[in-house]
Amino acid sequence: MRKIEIAALPGDGVGVEVTEAAKDVLHTLARAHGGVEFSFTDFPWSCDYYSKHGEMMPKDAISTLSQFEAIFLGAVGNPAIVPDHISLWGMLIKIRREFELSVNVRPAKKVKGITSPLANPKDFDLIVIRENSEGEYSEVGGRIHRGEHEMAIQNAVFTRRATEKVIRYAFQLAEKRNNRLVSATKSNGIVHSMPFWDEVTKSVAAEYPHVHTQSTHIDALAAFFVSKPAEFDVVVASNLFGDILTDIGSAIMGSIGIAPSANLNLEGRYPSMFEPVHGSAPDIAGKGIANPIGQIWTAKMMLDHFGFEELGQVLMDSMEEVTEAGIKTPDIGGTANTRAVTEAVKEKILETA
Ligand code: NAI
Ligand code: MG
C-alpha cells in the first residue's frame, strides 16, 4: 500500500468547494481500487486567514509544505478583502518560486458532452508544456526618465539550464504519447532568445530521432489552436507563449471551470503543485454550483505524476461518462450542482471496481 502525503490548500471561494469534491473522489477511487491511499493535511491559508493574521501564510509555511509529497491547491483570491497582488504573491507565486516549479503542464482536450465554442473541434487532445520560471516574465529591466521622455526596458531571460530542462521534459512526454512535438518560436522577429530556443530544441531533438519535431511561429500556432487543434499533441513553449496558448486551450475546451494544471519540480527536491487553471470565482462562491471537473482532472494529473496512470485513466473515463450523460454544472450548460456532479463521478468509479 502506497500512502501519499498531500498538503491541501483549498484557498478561497470555490477553491474550497472544488477541493472538497476532488478529495472525496480521490478517496473513493483509492477505496475502490486499492494499492494507494491519500492522506490530506488541510491548511486554511487564504484571504480570510490574511484578515485574521495579516499574512497569507505563516512564516514557516514553505518549510511546512516541504515535508509533503505534493500540494493540492484550489484557488486563491478575494479582491473584496485583499488586493489580488498581495494574495497572489503572498502565496501562489511564493510557492512556485521557492519550490522551483519550473515546468507547467496544461492539457486541453475535447471533453465528451462539453460543447466547444469551435464549430468543428474534432477530437483534439493536446498538452502544452510551459516554461514556468524565467523567459519573458523576468524581473530584469527598469524604467528611466519618468514623464515625457520615459523609457521602459523589460529583458527576457533564457538560460540554457531552464530551456533545456523544459524542452527535454516535453520530448520525454512526446515519447510516452504519440512521438509528435511542436515547439513555439518567433525567431523571425525575436532575434536573440528565440534562435537560441530553436537551437536548444534542435540539440535535444537529436536525442529523440523518433519524435517528429516542428518549430512553428507563435502567431501562426495561436491561430492553428483555433483552426485545427486536433493536429497537435505535445507543444512546448516559453513562459509568455505558453501562458497565451494555454488560455486558448481552455477556451476551446468550453469552460475555464474544467481546465487542469500541474506545476512540476522535475528534480523531486520539492513537492510539485497541482491546481486547476480557474480562480476563486467570487461571483458564484458559496452557491454550491462550482464546476468540480477542473479540480478532479487536476487530481488525475497528480495520479499520473505518482505513477498511478491506470487509476488516472479510470478517473478521467468516469468523469467523461458523467459529462457525456449531461450531468453538468451551469457554466457548461447543465443544471446540476457541485455535489451532484461529484456523486455521479463517484458512482461511475464504483462501477469500475
Ligand atoms: P476566475 O477564474 O475566478 O473566474 C472567471 C469566470 O469563470 C467567472 O465568471 C467564474 O464564475 C467562472 N469560473 C471559474 N471557475 C469556475 C468553476 N470551477 N465553475 C464554474 N465557473 C467558474 O477568475 P477571476 O474572476 O479573474 O478571479 C477571481 C479571483 O481568483 C481573483 O482574486 C484572482 O486573483 C484569483 N485567481 C486565482 C487563481 C489561482 O489561484 N490559481 C487563478 C486565477 C485567478
Ligand atoms: Mg494566464
Predicted-complex ipTM score: 0.98
116-253 has the same fold as 1-106+258-353? yes
Q: CA-to-CA distance for 130 and 178, rounded, in angstroms?
A: 19
Q: CA-to-CA distance for 175 and 178, rounded, in angstroms?
A: 6
Ligand found nearest the CA of 280? 1
Instruction: State the pLDDT at residue 139.
Output: 86
Name the region of 265 (left: φ>0; alpha: ψ -120 to 50; beta: rest). beta
Name which CATH class applies to 116-253.
alpha beta
CATH architecture for residues 1-106+258-353: 3-Layer(aba) Sandwich (3.40)
Distance from residue 279's CA to the centre of ligand 2 (Å): 11
Query: Whole-prediction pTM value?
Result: 0.95
pLDDT one-digit tens code per residue, 115-161: 999 999 999 999 999 999 999 998 899 999 999 999 999 999 999 99
Its sign, for the CA torsion 283, 288, 291, 293, is positive
For residue 154, give the C-alpha cell. Answer: 523589460
CB 328 within 8 A of CB 336: yes
Widest Cα–Cα separation across the chain: 69
Kindly list the distances between the CA atom of residue 67 and the CA atoms of 22, 26, 56, 60, 273, in Å, as whole numbers in the listed order.
Answer: 22, 21, 19, 12, 13
- Give, as residue ranges, everything with CB less than 5 Å from ion ligand 2: 243
How many percent of the chain have pLDDT more than 90?
97
For residue 259, give the C-alpha cell. Answer: 481546465
- Give me the residue spans of the domains in the chain: 1-106+258-353, 116-253
Of 20, 243, 278, which is best to mutate to test ligand 1, by the most ligand atoms within 8 angstroms of its C-beta?
A: 278
Contacts of residue 220, defined as CB under 8 A and 6 or more positions apart, other chains included, come to none
Task: Determine the average pLDDT of the residues in 203-228.
Answer: 98
Closest to 29 measured CA to CA, from 257, 328, 308: 308
